Structure formats: structure tokens, C-alpha cells
Amino acid sequence: MNSEMLCTPRGGRTLGQFALVSYIPDPLARFLDRLRLDLTPDCNPRAHVTVLPPRPVANECDLKELSERLSEEGRLALPIEVALGDIEVFPGTNVVYVALARGERELHALHENLNEGQLKYDGPFPYHPHITIAQDFRPEQLQEFVRIARERWAAYDGPRRFTVECLSFVQNVAPGMWCDVTRIPLAQPVGACR
């Protein structure tokens, strides 16, 4: 799988910003990416759950120092078991997403712990861990996208669980393009994260 996430329509809004995500493993990621592409073909996503949503980081910030801090914090955080729930919609933004049935409380705690210092940021929305399925589409498409997503999710017979064992610190380097800066294993020796 490619090491970057590419979603053209929204990309310019986060240019130069950083985020912290956990990529979802296959075959679940393959299913989620295919569904997202079918609904919003201009997007070439990499399925993930976000721990720290996109945020600016001060220009004088040393990325190596920041990555080291995240790695230190990661060694103290236990892996998180996540189970996916139902297809839902964020009101106001019409983002279609898969809700979490398990792991939300632990991801909130990790978010609160890491949303400090140079990474402190109070974004436009409260933190709500989820898996995005569709965004940035015409409002009249919402009901159809929700119907399709719910039908396909109900028919999916693969795994609906994964473990957050590794985080990826990513940077928006071009409109719509997110690249990995560093990987951070949770509660395991450095280098164990693949």
C-alpha cells in the first residue's frame, strides 16, 4: 500500500499541516478504500483512524524533536483494540463515516495526552474518532451515499476489528497529499512498527 493519502478536493485547506493517524490493515482497509473511491472517485485514500486531526505546527519547530517526543509518548501508550460500528453522518458537514463500537474512549485518552505542547490545537470540531467514507460531495448525494455505504457495510463479511499498534505522523506536503514523517510504535520496542 502506498505511503501517502491523496484526496484532491480538500487538500488545500491543510497544506503544510501535520496529523497523527493509525492506518487500518487489509482486508478491512481494502474494503473501506474501495467504498470511498466508489462514492468519491476523485479521492485516493488510505484508510485510517485519526488521533490528532490536521494542525499547524510552529515554523521554528524541529520535526526531529517533535518526532522523538511522539516516540517517547508512544512507548508509554498501550495498543488499542478498535471495533467498527454503524455508518453515520456528521451533521453540518455531511461527512459519511463508520463509527467506532469499541476503542473510542482509549483513542480520546491518547488524543488528550498527545494534544499538548507544540502539537496543542483546538480545531474547528471536537475530536471524534471515526473512519471517513465520503466527504466533499454535493448535498443532494448524501442520502444515496448513506444508503450505498450502509448496504455495502452490512454485506461486508470480513474483519471489523483492528488493533492500533502503530501511529504515523504525517504532513500535508502538496494539495491533497499526505506523506509519512515518522512511525511511532505503541508500547513496543522502537523499530517494531512496520
Q: How confident is the model at residue 12 (pLDDT cuts 50, 70, 90)?
A: very low
In the predicted structure, residue 10 carries a pLDDT above the cut 80: no
Comparing 1-15, 18-32, 106-120, the range with the smallest average pLDDT is: 1-15
What's the burial of 88, exposed, middle or buried (CB within 10 Å: 0-12/13-18/19+)? middle
pTM for this one?
0.85
Q: What average pLDDT does the segment 121-135 reach?
A: 94
Letter for the amino acid at 35? Answer: L
In the predicted structure, residue 24 carries a pLDDT above the cut 60: yes
User: Is the bond leading into 126 cis (omega within 30 degrees of zero)?
Assistant: no
At 75 the pLDDT is 86
At 167 the pLDDT is 96
96's CB contacts (< 8 A; 6+ apart) are: 39, 87, 88, 89, 132, 133, 134, 135, 142, 145, 146, 149
In the predicted structure, residue 1 carries a pLDDT above the cut 60: no
Crossing angle between the packed helical segments 104-114 and 63-76, to the nearest 10 degrees: 140
Comparing 1-10, 44-53, 106-115, 149-158, the range with the smallest average pLDDT is: 1-10
141's CB contacts (< 8 A; 6+ apart) are: none
Rounded Cα–Cα distance for residues 100 and 84 (Å): 5
Rounded Cα–Cα distance for residues 161 and 163 (Å): 7
At 14 the pLDDT is 64
At 16 the pLDDT is 77
End-to-end CA distance of the chain: 12
Q: Where along the chain do its domains lie? A: 4-185
Q: What average pLDDT does the segment 95-114 reach?
A: 97
At 26 the pLDDT is 97
Return the CATH number of the domain spanning residue range 4-185.
3.90.1140.10
Q: Do the Cβ atoms of 117 and 66 come closer than 8 Å?
A: no
- What's phi and psi for 5, nearest 5 deg? -110, 130
Q: For 36-87, how does the pLDDT look when each residue is reduced to its tens digit (9 = 90+)?
A: 999 999 887 899 999 999 998 865 467 788 888 898 888 889 999 999 999 9
Rg (the chain; Cα; Å): 16
Comparing 65-79, 91-105, 131-145, 177-191, the range with the smallest average pLDDT is: 177-191
